[in-house]
């Protein structure tokens, strides 16, 4: 099974305020995301992390060790510390900037950043992205939300857990 998630920001206490996350502490947030993740993802599943896995964390490996699944990192703007640590890289199947995923016949372009157009846009290829969190009032979100084949898979939008293609499609349709 394939799962998708972006912008977990493990270890980043300011994200609670910046994204108005419903947790009192960063420890509470981290614990909830890890429990939600492991409650559905097995070690046979692939998890596509669309950037900003951890930020300002002193020990990103501690999070990576706890999470089930084969982890694919699509790098985000807050992953630079992670990317410079060879020990962290051992926890990922791959680390890329952009990834085309075939999810049971549905093609998905995965990138941390929202794109206006992507390879296959005119052939029903979907686009999953993160980066803009739940900032519904910024110009990018105002524009990208009108594109029916583009889906924000940030944790703030998808319920603080990795989601399947079917779940993401259902969440955004409501």
Percent of the chain beyond pLDDT 90? 80
Output the pLDDT for position 75. Answer: 96
Output the pLDDT for position 39. Answer: 98
Model confidence over 38-81: pLDDT tens digits? 999 999 999 999 999 998 888 999 999 999 999 999 999 999 88
Output the pLDDT for position 173. Answer: 56
Using pLDDT thresholds of 50, 70 and 90, give the confidence band for residue 13.
confident
β-pair type (2-5, 150-152): unpaired
Residue 95 pLDDT > 60? yes
Output the pLDDT for position 150. Answer: 94
Mean pLDDT of the 146-172 span? 93
For the entire predicted model, the pTM comes to: 0.95
């Amino acid at each position: 099974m394939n799962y998708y998630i972006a912008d977990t920001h493990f270890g980043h206490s300011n994200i609670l305020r910046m994204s108005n996350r419903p947790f009192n502490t960063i420890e509470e947030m981290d614990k909830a995301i890890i429990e939600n993740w492991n409650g559905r993802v097995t070690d046979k599943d692939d998890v596509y992390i669309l950037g900003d896995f951890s930020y300002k964390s002193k020990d990103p490996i501690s999070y990576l060790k706890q999470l089930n699944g084969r982890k694919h990192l699509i790098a985000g703007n807050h992953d630079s510390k992670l990317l410079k640590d060879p020990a962290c890289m051992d926890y990922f199947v791959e680390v890329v900037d952009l990834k085309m995923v075939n999810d049971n016949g549905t093609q998905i372009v995965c990138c941390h950043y929202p794109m206006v157009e992507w390879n296959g846009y005119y052939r029903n290829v979907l686009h999953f992205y993160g980066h803009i969190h739940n900032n519904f009032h910024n110009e990018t979100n105002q524009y990208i939300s009108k594109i029916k084949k583009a889906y924000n898979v940030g944790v703030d939008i998808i319920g603080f857990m990795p989601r399947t293609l079917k779940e993401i499609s259902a969440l955004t349709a409501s």
